[in-house]
Structure 1
Amino acid sequence: MKTSAPTAHDDLREALRDLSAQFPPEYHRDHGARETYPEQFVDALTKAGWLAAMIPESYGGSGLGLTEASIVMEEINRGGGNAGHCHGQMYNMGTVLRHGSEAQKQKYLPKIAAGELRLQSMAVTEPTTGTDTTKLKTTAVKRGDRYVVNGQKVWISRIKHSDLMILLARTTPLADVKKKSDGLSVFIVELKDALGKGMEIKPIRNMVGHETYEVFFDDLEIPEENIIGEEGRGFRCILSGLNAERVLIGAECIGDGYWFLEKAAAYGKERLVFDRPIGQNQGVQFPLARAYVNVEAANLMRFEACRRFDANEDCGAQANMTKLLAADASWEAANACLQIHGGFGFAEEYDVERKFRETRLYQVAPISTNLILSYIAEHVLEMPRSF
C-alpha cells in the first residue's frame, strides 16, 4: 500500500518489519486472548535498541528524533502488534532527558539504553481528577532529605514490567499557589524500593486486556535526589513529554489504520459473494477509500508535529491534531474492516476484533477527543476558555 510519508526511512522500516515478522499473528493473538504481557517481543525490541531510539548516543542510545521513534511505534502496530505494551518508555524517558539533572541522566539513561532498566510507567491520572491534572490530590511532603508521598493514582500501566516510574504529585497545596499549575513536582520512583514499602497496586481488568493498575501511596518515601527539575515546576516537565506521547500514540493509530486497510483490501479481493469479489462493489470500496484518505492526512500531520518537536519548535497544536486525526482515522478504518469481514470479523483467528478493541482506546486516552478540540479552540482559534 502506497503512503504519502515525506520521510520514508525505508531502512528503518525494513528492519522493524523483519523483527515483527519473527512474531506472527498467532503470537499476539495468544497474548491477547490470555491477557498476558508479550515479554519476548518487547525484549527483542529492547535488544535491537528501538526502545532507546531517542536517548542520545552519549548516554548509549541511538540519538534519533521523534520522527524515527514515531516510525517505530507505527511499524509495531502495522505489523500486527500493540505498541501500548512498550510505548511508555519512549515518552517517559524524555522527562529525564529534558529536565533531569546530569547525575540522573548518567544514572538512568545508559541502563535504559542497554535494556538493564525499563521506564514504562508514568503516574499522573487520579480517580477524581482525570485530565484536570492541576487538581490532583496526591501529595509529596518534604521531610528531611526525603519526600513522603500519600494519595492514589489510576490507569497506571506496565508497573510489573517496569523498573522506574515517573510520578507527578503536589508539593505545595493548591490554596497556596498563584497559578494552579504551580506547586506540582515530578519524581522518578525506583519500583523495587516502592512496591510493598508504601506503594500498593491493584489490577484493573479492562476490555483491551491492557496491563494497568490502581496505585495507592501510604507514606512512600522518595529520596530528594529523585526529584526531576525544580520543586513546584513539575507540570512544565510533564507537558513536554505529553506532546511526544500524543504524537507517538498518533503514529500507533496510523499503523493500526494501515493494518486495517491492508487487511480489508486483501479480504475484499478474495471473498466471493454472488460469484464476484465483494471488493468489486463500491459499497465496499468507498468506506476503505475514505478511511485511507483520512489515515494519509493524519500521517502528514504526524510528520509535521515530529519536525517541529525535533527542531525544538512549539508543537502543541500539531501534536494534539495528530492524535485526534489519527485516532479518528484508525477507528474509521477499524469499523470499515470489521464490517467488510462480516461475522468473521468477530472471530479471534482473523485478529480484527483484537485490533478493533485496541484502537478504540485512543478515542479516550491518553487525552479525549473533546479536550483536544477545546485546546484547538482556545490556543489556536483564540476563543474563550470553555472550562
Structure 2
Amino acid sequence: MDFARTEEQRLLIDTARRVGEKFGLDYWRTLDANKEFPKAAWEEICNAGLCGIAIPEEYGGAGLGMTELAMAVEALCAAGGGSTLSQMFMCNPIFGGITLTKFGTPDMKRELLPKLVSGKATFAMALTEPDAGTNTLALKAFARAEGSGWRLNGQKIWITAVPQATKILAVARTTKAEDVRSKVDGISLFLIDQDRDGISHQAIEKVGTNTLPSSAVFFEDVRVDGHELVGTLDGGFRQLLDVLNTERIVTTSGLVATAELAIRLAVSYAKDRKIFNGQPIGAYQGVQFPLAEAHIQAECARLMNHKAATLYDQGQPYGSEANMAKWLAGHAAGLATDRAIQTLGGMGYSKEFHVERLWRDARLFRFAPVAEEMVLNFVAQHDLGLPRSY
C-alpha cells in the first residue's frame, strides 16, 4: 500500500489550495451573512479545471479519478469554505458528472459534460421527499408514461442549489411499487431543465450552509421527453447508488477539511491567548487533548475516504468504506468545531473568528446526505452480517 502522492496529485492539491486561498474566511463569512451563492468562487474553481478533475478528457476534463477529486476538495475547503463548499462538488461533479459519465447517453455527454467542466451547466438532484427521507424506496414522485415521454408529479424537499441549477436530476417511480417483483425496481432517473413549466420551488430557512439554498420542489404535470431518461427505465435505483456513495466521498472531504481548518484556527488562538500565570492556554492539556482527538479522528477519516475513492477508481466495491469514512468525518468535524469554539471562549461564539460558521455548517452532515444511524445499520448488516434492523 503506497501512501505517497504522485507529482500530479501534489500539483493538483497546490492548485486547489491557491484557488481556495483567493476566497478565504472573510469571503465565506460575508456570503454566509448575506445568504449569497458563491458564484465568483465557483467560476474560479471551474477556470482552474477543478470541476472537471474526474471527467473524461474527451469532454474537456482531466480524466483523473475520485481520489484526486477528494484531495482537491480537501484543499479547497480547508482554505476557508469548509464543508459548505463541498456541496458544490456534490451538485456538479457528482450529481452531474458521475451520473452523465456512467449512465448518460452519448448525446447527453457531448452536450452537457463540457458545459459542466466550464461551469456553464450546474446541477441539483431531486431525491429526498417529505414522507420518505432516507427511505428512497418509499418515494412517491411518479412519472406517468405519455407518448414518447412522461408526465412527472410529486414533491421533493431539502434540495440544494435549485435556483442556480440549469438541470435537475429527478428521481421518480415509473412503475408503482405494488407492480414490481423487487422493491428496488420501478425507479428511474431523469435529467430535466430546472426552469421547465410545472416546476416550482420554495426556499427553506435553516441554521447553516447559507451560501447554498435548500428548497422544497414541486413537480406538477412536468413534461419529460424520452431522451431525458438517464440509465435504464425502472432500473435507476441501482444506478443511483454510485451517485450516492460518491457523494459521501465528497462530503467526507469537506468535513475532513472543516476539522483541519477549525483546529488550525483554535491552535493559532491557543498559542497567543495568555491567562493567569502568563502561559498560553495551548499549554494546558484541557485545551490540547480535545483538539488532538479531533485531529486523530479527521486523519483516520481522511485515510478511509482515500481508500473508498481508490476502490472506486479501481472498479471495486467501495460502499462500506465510503459510509464509514463519512461517519468518522462527521464526528471529527463536530468535535473539532465544538472544541474550537470552546478554545476561543466568548470569541468562538462571535462571527469575527469564523469557527461558529464552520460549526453550524458541519452539523448538517451528521444526518445528511445519510444519517449516521443509517451508516451504522449498513455496516452492521453488510460488514458484520447481522440481520436487517429496519
- Give the shorter-chain TM-score range: over 0.9
Equivalent position of 1:296 in the other structure:
299
Deviation at 1:109, TM superposition (A): 1.1
Q: 2:143–2:150: 8 Å Cα contact kept in structure 1?
A: yes
Q: How much does 1:244 deviate?
A: 0.5
Aligned to 1:217: 219
What is the one-letter code of the residue matched to 1:53? I
Secondary structure of residue in 2 paired with 1:147: strand
- How far apart in 2 are the matches of 1:228 and 1:72? 28
1:215 Cα deviation (Å)? Answer: 0.4
Gaps of 5+ in 2: none
Structure 1 segment 21-40 matched on structure 2, within 5 A: 21-40=21-40
**Counterparts of 1:254 and 1:5 in 2: how far apart (Å)?**
17
Shift of 1:10: 2.3
C-alpha distance in 2 between matches for 1:113 and 1:13: 18
1:234-289 Cα deviation digits (max 9, x unpaired): 00111011110011101110001110111111111000111110001111111111
Residue 7 (structure 1) aligns with = 5
Q: Please tell me the residue identity of whatever aligns with 1:127.
A: P
Q: Residue by residue, what CA displacement relative to the aligned partner does 1:163-218 show, whole Å, maximum 9, x if unpaired?
A: 111111000000101111100000001123x1xx1111011010012411000111
Residue 141 of structure 1 aligns to a residue in which SS? strand
Q: CA RMSD in A?
A: 1.3
Instruction: State the alpha-carbon separation in 2 of the partners of residues 248 and 219 from structure 1.
Output: 33
The letter of the residue matching 2:53 is A
SS in structure 1 at match of 2:128: coil
SS of alignment partner, residue 388 of structure 2: coil
Q: Quick one: distance in 1 between partners of 2:174 and 2:141?
A: 9
Question: In structure 2, what is the equivalent of residue 44 of structure 1?
Answer: 44
Shift of the alpha carbon at 1:6? Answer: 4.6
Q: Is the 8 A contact 1:6 1:303 kept in 2?
A: no
1:248 partner amino acid: V
TM-score by length of 2: 0.95
Matched residue, 1:91:
94
Is 2:254 aligned against 1:252? yes
Q: Which residue identity is paired with 1:46? A: C
> 2:5 is aligned with what amino acid?
T
2:309 matches 1:306: yes
Query: Structure 1 residue 317 and structure 2 residue 320: aligned?
Result: yes
The 3-state SS of whatever aligns with 1:51 is coil
Q: Distance in 1 between matches of 2:296 and 2:115?
A: 41
Deviation, 1:118, is 1.6
Give the distance between the partners of 1:40 and 1:263, measured in 2 at CA. 25
Indicate yes or no: 2:43 matched with 1:53: no
Deviation at 1:114, TM superposition (A): 2.6
Is residue 20–residue 77 contact of structure 2 (8 Å, CA) maintained in 1?
A: no
CA 1:84/1:299 → structure 2, altered by over 3 Å: closer, same or farther?
A: closer
Query: 1:108 corresponds to which residue?
Result: 112
Alpha-carbon distance in structure 1 between the residues aligned to 2:333 and 2:231:
36
Q: Which moved more, 1:9-18 or 1:212-221?
A: 9-18
Gaps of 5+ in 1: none
In the TM superposition, residue 76 of structure 1 has moved relative to its aligned partner by 2.1
State the match for 1:168 in structure 2.
Answer: 171
* Equivalent AA in structure 2 for residue 360 of structure 1: R
Distance (Å, rounded) in 2 between the aligned partners of 1:34 and 1:125: 26
Distance 1:76 1:128 in 2: 35
Task: Classify the secondary structure of the residue corresponding to 1:76.
Answer: helix
**Distance between the aligned counterparts of 1:158 and 1:110, measured in 2?**
20
* 1:68 pairs with 2:72: no
Moved over 4 A (4+): none
Deviation at 1:5, TM superposition (A): 6.3
Shift, 1:30, TM fit = 0.6
What is the distance in 1 between the residues matched to 2:61 and 2:129? 32
Q: Deviations over 1:120-160 (max 9, x none)?
A: x0010000000110110000011001210001000111111
* Residues 116-135 of structure 1 aligned to structure 2 (within 5 Å): 116-119=120-123, 121-135=124-138
Q: In structure 2, what residue type is equivalent to 1:322?
A: A
Kept in 2, the 8 Å contact 1:5–1:300? The answer is no
Q: Is the 8 A contact 2:55 2:63 kept in 1?
A: yes
Q: Residues of 1 paired with 2:27 and 2:108: CA distance?
A: 37
Letter in structure 2 aligned against 1:48: A
User: Contact conserved, 1:85 with 1:158, CA < 8 A, in 2?
Assistant: no
Structure 2 distance, partners of 1:232, 1:386, is 26
Give yes or no for contact 1:169–1:184 (8 Å, CA) kept in 2. Answer: yes
Q: How many residues align?
A: 380
